């Protein structure tokens, strides 16, 4: 069930709509988004998945009516061969799930839909460690959403982690390896980590990086490549990169996220990773 | 785990295959030349304990029948012990063992070698503290290995431990079995004696002794539903204990690794209850039918470590049930995968001719089985070609064990704010669920105490990094019995998974109220150890479950499969037969002796279980008198209190209550505000019980207790207790002249015997996680790591203050376990209780003083002794009151002490309890805030008894500047069935204190009265 954590064969991504620059939701004020650069950034991201890592990438077309649609992660949670189509917390993003559902259906996954009107869940609040789920309770995700997630993935424990000061749980943490949690240094991040540690029967290692945003990275375990980690670039977070570079066994791939971060996009946000051939 | 493996292999090497573990000893012994001193003493000590327990238990049944005196069994048991090895032991060892067996083995050595004669002098209570005398640290550390995950920071130490362990080989894990072995090799004469004794014991083990059979015995037929759905019937004597039936069943199943299993029954409310092996069946089931279910009680976290396939097979059967019933939720894919392994195990390879799609439709793989699922199952089944049944089972378990609800025992509850939650008890601790979500988790190392009172269930939590004090979290269960059930399950799980050996079923309980219940079987560590000794050809068994009669397994390539017929035969011949156990009752052939031949460790298990039996047996009818007598017994005995686990204050201050509330709401965490409609659905299925639980939730009220209490035949005492606690806090000398504050503690207790059911109706009980801090027994150590970390990281101001003390104290008591002590210290320190008895000194002298050097002042003999004991013996409590309380206060600096007092936790006062606390503090206390703790020089406690119990604790400390300060705490507990004039009692106490110590000043007086109102009396 959890033997192959990080093993992926497919990725679902979505192109950057022009409306991203102007209409995308944002929590911070990191400046204006440079659309061409954002698009270029995203293309690079996709090419890493495709060319560098050899994943089969499904690229969904952008939808101008859905400015945030590039952040596909929030629309679905995939674990094993089950995909939970979420009900994003932001009203304006609800329709993003339509295309995602189609794509995942095509991949042959068991689709579970979150139909409960009272439930909200953003994929960005879902941290799957390989052993269990942590679901951030944020502005975008509520308890009901977490319950439905728990129902969809019955094999795993689902623990709740309050998220404060950030958009999503994964705004300051992610998995950097099997049983290895990358976590930011801020108080909020550390507090969340404490909660996760207390809630879990497993002992996770942690990789603490100075910058919260840098803690969002993408771990994969690919045949022939071993441990692969997509992380921030030295230009963005030089100190944090040094931390990642201590992971000697990982194939480290810096991927720029300079523009998308302005609209709360992180590395994990831009793809839904799928492993076909489970079981 | 490396540790264990190592030790096990050693064991296995031994050529002899003897029923009794003892016979195998020699090889082990030789393996450990490094620790000559230890090895000598150790074996003896360790040997005694299994022996003792063994001898003790068998007697109790006999005594019950033969001797009319119900209250005497414990005493008799003790005497008999003298016969065997135990006679070589100092008295305290005997007592101690039961409490924490492991620790005994190591710690025992010293006292023993020094003072073999003393044994005769012993008085029970005294014995306990002393036994702890030696430092068991080495053993403790070993435990930590097991807990490696938790103890990262201490890796260095772990390594050391490992070395140590290797040297001492078997001693480390200290399982009874091994201990026995060592013992044997050690002293040969003893060996012989032992054997004799064992024989006797074995005969007795059969519970139904021939003698009894001859007399008029009423036999009852028990029906046991086995895991494969079949029924096993067995005739037992009406007064037989649970273990008799359990052993019968295990024998029938040819099961050796039986400790993971248990028998359960449905009580009147259709709740599933575990049959306590140490108690009479009849008493437990009450008016229910003699209908039981054999099932897994403790789900092994790693089934691959089970020794025998048959055990794994039974576990598989249980899990299939759990899955099919929905109690163990899993995803579609997992259902399919597990189902396919089941098929492979039962049917062998997929055979396209024989196995058409419908071949599985009569099997249930999931609560809601779909055609789609069945197809998937079949598809996967095809892929398992070539897998043997045993392999398929193993694969099944490897996947099942990862399920998040694997081995989680769920109970409905509400939090303090009435929100529906679920308590999940599992190997690692207590999980709190809200609907399907985990909202909190309390690992065993975080839990200091588990208690219940009426329908409330409490856990006391070790302070986290950010918190200064422990907190108590309370949950409301549907009713009293549910609360007790959760409590029991927690106690058992904690002991089984967390400790190396079971805790002594308390003879000595501090809070008078409460259940004596303790888990008395083997712990997982012990059972693993024992399993490593299993030396029999893998037993054959037939895999038939799920409604199917066995099929032909022609297609199956593997030997196991094709050998079924043979398997059945051998299984049957080995065990009792399938049918008519009643007939066998009279025959010897079925008795344990048979078991001995085939199952080496059976006896060991028995012995362990037996321990508690004695104590439990007398509990029923004579409970009240018994208890009182215990109070009296204290006499001059010493009791040691220690460890944070034990720190219980009887009185709960207002702040406590507030704190309690706070912690509860904390539990709910911020996100809990919105509570969606309750959703029963699957979760209800998962409950061991039935819908009744939920229903009862509503009905619970103050009156609920009554109905249960009424109509029950057994007699129990409901204790009304009035406690007056006086605590004197040391005044810190400001002038050169040492000031000596006097502590007067007075407890007034009222006991009233009321009719109620002793067995199951205790109003409340506590269970102190024996673990970590105690540092006492090896086993406990495992917890240390986690605690440690916390301490280190946290360091709140007040804690810092304490540090000096902490460090100093641990130093003398347990040289090797510094870190642990450091952790445990703050609370543990004062636990000192000492007796004046000469015995006390011997251990003291022996106590390894190396670390003493750390201390600036040479330790006073008494003081050091007591401290040592404190560390070692967590559970020793001779008196029924909570002497603990004062202990807590003693060593702590004034400021801190003051704080502590307020914080002390006890059960939250509940509706029916009236609590009254009067505190008097001398003015001088104020301003002592600079709180240099000083060094504890001596501490001793004397307890005497007359009408009331008086406990006096002398503590002498050296403060900075070389001043010494003596504090005397006196606690008086008055127990009576009439109203007590507290004012008078207090006045008297103060007066006496002044008279006795004219040169001292009374600094603090606390009167605590706790009265239970009449409601329970009914």
Q: Do A156 and B150 touch (CB under 8 A)?
A: no
* Strand arrangement, sheet containing B741-749: B913-921, B1001-1012, B741-749, B964-975, B948-958, B935-945
pLDDT of residue B703: 31
Please tell me if residue A203 touches chain B, with a CB cutoff of 8 Å: yes
Which residues in chain A touch residue B402, judged by CB atoms under 8 angstroms apart?
Answer: 1-2, 131, 155
Q: In chain B, which residue's Cα lies nearest the Cα of A278?
A: B333
* Among A144, A146, A155, beta carbon nearest to B404: A155
Determine the pLDDT at residue B238.
86
Q: Flag if A160 and B330 touch (Cβ within 8 Å).
A: no
| Residue ranges with strand state E in B152-304 | 219-225, 231-237, 261-266, 272-274, 291-296
- Searching chain A, which residue's CA lies closest to the CA of residue B444? A201
Tell me what pLDDT residue B756 has: 36
Distance from CA of B149 to the nearest CA of A (A): 7
Percent pLDDT > 90 in chain A is: 82
Q: Which is the catalytic residue, given A69, A79, A217, A269?
A: A269
Question: d(Cα A254, Cα A256) in Å, to the nearest integer?
Answer: 7
**Chain A contact for B329 (CB, 8 A cutoff):** yes
Q: Which of A142, A158, A203 lies at the smallest CB-CB distance from B149? A: A203
- Asked whether the beta carbons of B498 and B773 are under 8 A apart, the reply is no
Surface of A (37-66) touching B: CB under 8 A: none
Structure tokens at B549: 């009669």
Please indicate whether residue B944 or residue A71 has the higher confidence score (pLDDT). Answer: A71
Mutation target vs A (from B302, B329, B436; most A CBs, 10 A cutoff): B436
Chain A nearest CA to B805, separation (Å): 30
Quote the pLDDT of residue B888: 31
Any CB–CB contact under 8 A between A179 and chain B?
no
Q: Give yes or no for A132 touching B (CB within 8 A).
A: yes
Taking CB atoms and an 8 Å limit, are B331 and A155 in contact across chains? yes
Q: Give pLDDT, residue A155.
A: 93
Residue in chain A closest to B398 (alpha carbons) equals: A1
Q: Identify the weakest region by mean pLDDT among A94-98, A106-110, B90-94.
A: B90-94
Interchain contact A144–B (C-beta under 8 A): yes
User: Which of the following is catalytic: A168, A217, A231, A270?
Assistant: A168
Cβ distance A199 to B440 less than 8 Å, yes or no, reads: yes
Whether residue A159 and residue B437 make contact (CB cut-off 8 A), yes or no, is yes
Mean pLDDT of the residues in chain A: 92
- Searching chain A, which residue's CA lies closest to the CA of residue B436? A147
The closest alpha carbon to B28, from B529, B712, B437, belongs to: B529
Compare CB distances from A110 to B332, B399, B441 and report the shortest one's residue. Answer: B332
State whether residue B557 is helix, strand or coil.
coil
SS3 annotation, B428-462: CEEEEEECCEEEEEEEHHHEEEEEEECCEEEEEEC
Contact B101, B60 (CB under 8 A): no
How far off is chain A from B595, nearest CA to CA, in Å? Answer: 38
Q: Most B CBs within 10 Å: which of A5, A79, A83, A143, as the mutation test of the B interface?
A: A143
Write down the pLDDT at residue B8: 39
Whether A269 is catalytic is yes
DSSP B724: -
Q: Which residues contact B926 (CB under 8 A, 6 or more apart)?
A: none
Residue B339 C-alpha from the chain's centroid: 36
**Subunit contact B671:A144, Cβ cutoff 8 A:** no
pLDDT band, very low/low/confident/very high, at A146 (cuts 50, 70, 90): very high
Low-confidence ranges of chain B (pLDDT < 50): 1-212, 507-513, 545-682, 684, 687-761, 770-947, 1012-1018
Give the residue from A155, A190, A275 with the most B CB atoms within 10 Å of its CB, the best one to mutate: A155
**Shortest Cα distance from B437 to chain A (angstroms)?**
6
Choose among A110, A118, A158: nearest Cβ to B438. Answer: A158
- From residue B486, give the alpha-carbon distance in Å to each of B274, B298, B455, B624, B627: 11, 14, 10, 25, 25
Name the pLDDT band for A135 (thresholds 50, 70, 90): very high
Q: How far is CA A8 from the centre of its chain?
A: 14
Cβ-Cβ contacts under 8 Å, A150 against chain B: 435-437
Q: HEC states along A116-175?
A: CCCCCCCHHHEEECCCEEEEEECCCCCHHHHHHHHHHCCCCEEEEEECCCCCCHHHCEEE
CA dihedral A159, A162, A168, A172 (to 10 degrees): -90
b/e per residue A219-237 (b: at least 16 CB within 10 A): bbbbeeeebbbbbbbeebb
Interface test with A, best of B148, B151, B331, B680 (most A CBs within 10 A): B331
Asked if A82 lies within 8 A of B428 by C-beta distance, the reply is no
Are the beta carbons of B440 and A143 separated by less than 8 Å?
A: no
Question: A137, B428: Cβ pair inside 8 Å?
Answer: no
**Kind of pairing, strands A173-177 and A157-162?**
unpaired
| Inter-chain residue contact B399 with A1, CB threshold 8 Å | yes
Looking at residue A157, what is its pLDDT? 94
Which burial class, exposed, middle or buried, applies to B225 when counting CB atoms under 10 A from its CB (0-12, 13-18, 19+)? Answer: middle
Task: Tell if the CB–CB gap between B333 and A278 is shorter than 8 Å.
Answer: yes
Cβ–Cβ gap A201/B670 under 8 Å: no
Closest CB to B441 among A142, A194, A198: A198
Nearest to A1 among B334, B426, B438 (CB): B334
Question: What is the pLDDT at residue B527?
Answer: 78
* B428 CB within 8 Å of a chain A CB: yes
- Does the beta-carbon distance from B438 to A144 stay under 8 Å? no
* Chain A residues with beta carbon closer than 8 angstroms to that of B152: 203
B473 close to A (CB below 8 A): no
- For residue B867, give how far its alpha carbon lies from the nearest alpha carbon of chain A (Å): 33
Inter-chain touch A1–B402, beta carbons under 8 Å:
yes
Is A9 an 8 Å CB contact of chain B? no
State yes or no: is A69 an active-site residue: no
């Amino acid at each position: 069930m959890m033997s192959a954590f990080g093993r992926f064969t497919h990725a679902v991504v979505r192109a950057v709509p022009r409306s991203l620059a102007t209409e995308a939701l944002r929590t911070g004020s990191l400046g204006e988004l440079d659309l061409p650069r954002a698009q270029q950034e995203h293309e690079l991201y996709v090419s890493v998945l495709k060319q560098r890592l050899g994943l089969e990438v499904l690229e969904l077309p952008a939808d101008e009516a859905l400015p945030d649609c590039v952040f596909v992660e929030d629309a679905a949670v995939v674990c094993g061969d089950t995909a939970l189509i979420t009900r994003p917390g932001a009203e304006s993003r609800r329709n993003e799930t339509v295309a995602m559902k189609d794509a995942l259906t095509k991949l042959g996954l068991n689709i579970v839909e979150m139909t409960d009107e009272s439930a909200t869940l953003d994929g960005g609040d879902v941290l799957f460690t390989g052993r269990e789920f942590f679901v951030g309770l944020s502005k975008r995700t509520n308890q009901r959403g977490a319950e439905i997630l728990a129902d969809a993935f019955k094999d795993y424990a689902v623990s709740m982690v309050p998220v404060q000061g950030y958009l999503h749980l994964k705004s300051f943490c992610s998995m950097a390896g099997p049983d290895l949690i990358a976590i930011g240094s801020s108080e909020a991040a550390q507090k969340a980590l404490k909660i996760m540690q207390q809630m879990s029967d497993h002992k996770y290692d942690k990789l603490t990086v100075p910058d919260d945003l840098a803690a969002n990275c993408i771990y994969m375990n690919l045949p022939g490549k071993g441990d692969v980690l997509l992380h921030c670039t030295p230009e963005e977070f030089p100190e944090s990169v040094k931390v990642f570079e201590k992971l000697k066994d990982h194939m480290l791939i810096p991927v720029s996220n300079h523009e998308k971060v302005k609209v709360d996009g992180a590395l994990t946000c831009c793809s839904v990773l799928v492993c076909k051939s489970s079981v | 785990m490396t540790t264990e493996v190592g030790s096990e292999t050693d064991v296995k090497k031994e050529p002899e295959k003897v029923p009794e573990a003892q016979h195998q000893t020699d090889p082990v012994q030789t393996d450990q030349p490094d620790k000559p001193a230890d090895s000598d003493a150790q074996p003896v000590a360790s040997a005694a304990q299994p022996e003792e327990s063994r001898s003790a238990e068998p007697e109790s049944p006999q005594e019950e029948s033969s001797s009319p005196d119900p209250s005497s069994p414990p005493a008799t048991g003790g005497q008999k012990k003298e016969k065997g090895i135990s006679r070589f032991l100092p008295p305290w060892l005997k007592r101690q063992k039961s409490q924490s067996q492991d620790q005994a083995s190591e710690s025992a050595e010293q006292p023993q070698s020094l003072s073999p004669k003393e044994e005769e002098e012993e008085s029970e209570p005294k014995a306990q503290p002393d036994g702890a005398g030696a430092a068991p640290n080495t053993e403790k550390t070993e435990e930590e290995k097991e807990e490696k995950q938790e103890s990262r920071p201490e890796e260095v130490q772990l390594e050391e431990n490992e070395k140590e362990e290797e040297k001492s080989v078997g001693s480390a894990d200290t399982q009874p079995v091994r201990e026995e072995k060592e013992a044997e090799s050690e002293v040969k004469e003893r060996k012989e004696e032992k054997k004799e004794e064992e024989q006797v014991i074995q005969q007795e083990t059969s519970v139904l002794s021939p003698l009894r059979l001859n007399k008029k015995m009423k036999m009852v037929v028990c029906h046991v539903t086995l895991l494969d759905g079949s029924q096993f019937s067995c005739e037992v004597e009406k007064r037989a204990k649970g273990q008799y039936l359990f052993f019968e069943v295990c024998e029938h199943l040819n099961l050796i690794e039986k400790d993971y299993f248990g028998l359960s029954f449905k009580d009147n409310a259709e709740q599933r209850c575990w049959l306590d092996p140490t108690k009479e069946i009849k008493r437990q089931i009450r008016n229910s039918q003699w209908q039981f279910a054999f099932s897994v009680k403790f789900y092994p976290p790693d089934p691959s470590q089970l020794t025998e396939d048959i055990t794994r097979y039974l576990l598989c059967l249980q899990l299939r049930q759990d899955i099919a019933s929905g109690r163990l939720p899993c995803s579609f894919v997992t259902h399919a995968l597990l189902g396919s392994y089941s098929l492979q195990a039962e049917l062998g390879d997929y055979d396209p001719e024989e196995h058409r799609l419908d071949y599985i439709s009569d099997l249930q793989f999931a609560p809601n089985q779909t055609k789609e699922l069945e197809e998937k199952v079949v598809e996967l089944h095809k892929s398992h070609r070539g897998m043997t049944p045993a392999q398929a089972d193993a694969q099944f378990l490897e996947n099942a064990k990862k399920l998040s609800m694997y081995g989680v025992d769920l109970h409905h509850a509400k939090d303090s704010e009435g929100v529906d939650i679920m308590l999940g008890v599992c190997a690692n601790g207590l999980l709190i669920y809200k609907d399907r979500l985990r909202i909190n988790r309390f690992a065993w190392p975080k839990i200091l105490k588990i208690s219940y009172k009426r329908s409330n269930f409490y856990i006391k939590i070790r302070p986290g990094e950010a918190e200064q004090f422990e907190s108590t979290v309370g949950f409301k269960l549907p009713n009293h019995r549910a609360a007790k059930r959760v409590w029991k399950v927690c106690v058992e799980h904690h002991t089984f998974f967390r400790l190396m050996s079971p805790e002594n079923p308390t003879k000595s309980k501090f809070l008078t109220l409460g259940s004596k219940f303790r888990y008395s079987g083997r712990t997982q560590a012990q059972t693993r150890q024992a399993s490593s000794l299993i030396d029999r050809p893998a037993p054959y068994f037939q895999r038939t479950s799920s409604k199917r009669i066995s099929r032909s397994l022609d297609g199956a390539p593997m030997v196991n499969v094709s050998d079924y017929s043979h398997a059945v035969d051998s299984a049957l011949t080995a065990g009792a037969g399938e049918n008519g156990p009643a007939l066998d009752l009279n025959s010897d052939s079925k008795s344990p002796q048979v078991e001995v031949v085939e199952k080496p460790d059976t006896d060991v298990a028995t012995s362990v279980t037996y321990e508690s039996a004695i104590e439990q047996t007398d509990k029923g009818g004579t409970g009240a008198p018994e208890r009182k007598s215990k109070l009296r017994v204290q006499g001059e005995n010493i009791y040691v209190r220690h460890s944070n686990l034990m720190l219980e204050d009887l009185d709960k201050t207002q702040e406590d209550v507030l704190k309690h509330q706070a912690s509860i709401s904390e539990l709910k965490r911020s996100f809990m505000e919105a509570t969606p409609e309750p959703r029963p659905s699957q979760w209800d299925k998962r409950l061991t019980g039935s819908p009744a639980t939920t229903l009862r939730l509503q009905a619970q009220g103050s009156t609920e207790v009554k109905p249960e209490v009424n109509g029950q035949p057994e007699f129990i005492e409901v204790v009304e207790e009035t406690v007056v606690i006086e605590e004197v806090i040391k005044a810190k000398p400001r002038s050169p002249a040492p000031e000596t504050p006097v502590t007067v503690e007075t407890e007034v207790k009222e006991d009233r015997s009321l009719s109620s059911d002793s067995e199951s109706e205790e109003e409340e009980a506590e269970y102190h996680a024996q673990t970590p801090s105690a540092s006492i027994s090896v086993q406990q150590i495992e917890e240390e790591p986690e605690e440690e970390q916390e301490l280190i990281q946290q360091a709140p101001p007040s804690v810092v203050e304490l540090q000096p003390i902490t460090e100093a104290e641990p130093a003398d008591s347990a040289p090797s376990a510094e870190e642990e002590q450091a952790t445990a210290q703050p609370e543990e320190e004062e636990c000192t209780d000492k007796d004046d008895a000469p015995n006390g000194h011997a251990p003291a002298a022996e106590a390894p003083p190396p670390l003493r050097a750390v201390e600036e002042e040479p330790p006073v003999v008494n003081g050091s002794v007591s401290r040592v004991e404190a560390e070692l013996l967590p559970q020793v409590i001779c008196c029924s009151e909570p002497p603990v309380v004062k202990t807590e206060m003693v060593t702590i600096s004034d400021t801190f002490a003051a704080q502590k007092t307020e914080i002390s936790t006890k059960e939250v006062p509940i509706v029916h309890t009236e609590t009254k606390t009067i505190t008097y503090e001398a003015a001088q206390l104020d301003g002592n805030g600079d709180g240099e703790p000083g060094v504890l020089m001596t501490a001793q406690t004397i307890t005497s008894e007359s009408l009331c119990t008086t406990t006096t604790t002398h503590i002498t400390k050296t403060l900075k500047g070389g001043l010494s300060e003596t504090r005397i705490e006196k606690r008086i507990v008055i127990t009576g069935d009439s109203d007590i004039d507290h004012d008078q009692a207090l006045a008297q106490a103060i007066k006496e204190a002044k008279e006795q110590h004219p040169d001292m000043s009374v600094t603090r007086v606390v009167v605590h009265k706790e009265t239970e109102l009449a409601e329970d009396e009914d």
